[in-house]
Structure 1
């Protein structure tokens, strides 16, 4: 479970779309506050998903090859295959000119509620779903599993946390460097999406197949 959560959490935190939107929020009026709102909403989403899974399982992993266990692995397999197919499709369409979404032009005037809603809308839900299917195996009687779940939520939020702290402690240099990062992310968005989709998808597919046949 731990390795799967590290892979999924890393793929989530490196996603280019939400990071680009977050940098735009930081550069807007009351940017630090909007960024904090986005960050907390993003983290709350992950915590809610984890809590829902834990409530469904009672904090005890299902027996290996039982119906709940097989269903969770099958869900991870379906997500993994879907990510591979999506990554392959996006790869075949490269290169194509980047066109920023229409909503990015309105971020400067976004309210705190809009910033919170964006965090939920921009979540990579396929990866979050894979994380939920992985958390089914969590045993809350084990301290290591508690730490794994906490680490997963923090890892999936790490890029946002680093940028928020950078904007707080070094606002002048942060604005220039984060804008440069956003430009790079926008120029390489498709390549990043393809790479993350294929790597995460292949990992989930391989580990799920192994879990089903082992």
Structure 2
């Protein structure tokens, strides 16, 4: 479970779409406040999903090869296969030019509520779903499982935490370097999406098949 959560959390954190949007928010007139609203909303969403899973399982992992256990593994397998298919489709699709998002022109007028809602919209829900299916195996009576779930939520938010902190303590340098990073991500958005989808999809597919036949 720990390794799965680490892989999923890292894949979520490296996603180009929400990171580019976050950098745009940081460059706004009230960037730090908007960035913090986005970051907190992102983190709360992740925690809320885990809490829902824990409420369903009662904090106790299902028995190996029981119906709930098999269902959670099957869900991860389905998500893994879907990510592989999606990544392969995006890889074979002819490149399409994409302009800046429509809301970019109104970024300075964005409210904290808008920033928080944007985090919810841009969250990669398929990956978050894989994290939820993995968290089914968590045992809340074990300290290490508490640490694993906490680490997963923080790892999935790590890129946002680093950028928010950087912008807070070195605003001038952060503005230049983060905007350069956003430009690079915009140029390589398709490659990043394809790579993350294929890598995580293949990992989930292979590991889920192993769990089903083990």
Which residues in structure 2 correspond to 1:1-214 (within 5 Å)? 1-214=1-214
Aligned equivalents of 1:11 and 1:100: distance in 2?
24
Structure 1 residues 106-115 or 138-147, which shifts more? 106-115
For 1:107 and 1:138, locate their aligned partners in 2 and report how far apart those are by CA, in whole Å. 40
The C-alpha deviation readout for 1:59-118, integer Å capped at 9, x for no partner, is 000001111001100100000000000000000014332323322332222111000000
Q: Deviations over 1:115-159 (max 9, x none)?
A: 000010000000000000000000011110000000000000000
8 A Cα contact 1:79 1:126, kept in partner: yes
Task: Please identify runs of 4+ aligned residues in structure 1 that moved more than 3 A.
Answer: none
SS in 2 for 1:177: helix
Can you give the 5+ residue segments of structure 1 that lack an aligned partner in the other structure?
Answer: none
TM-score by length of 1: 0.98
Deviation of residue 204 (structure 1)?
A: 0.3
Q: Which runs of 5+ in 2 are unaligned?
A: none
Answer yes or no: is the 8 Å Cα contact 1:9–1:153 preserved in 2.
yes
Structure 2: distance between partners of 1:189 and 1:77: 25
Task: Tell me how large the CA RMSD over aligned residues is.
Answer: 0.8
Separation of aligned partners in 1, 2:139 and 2:47: 16
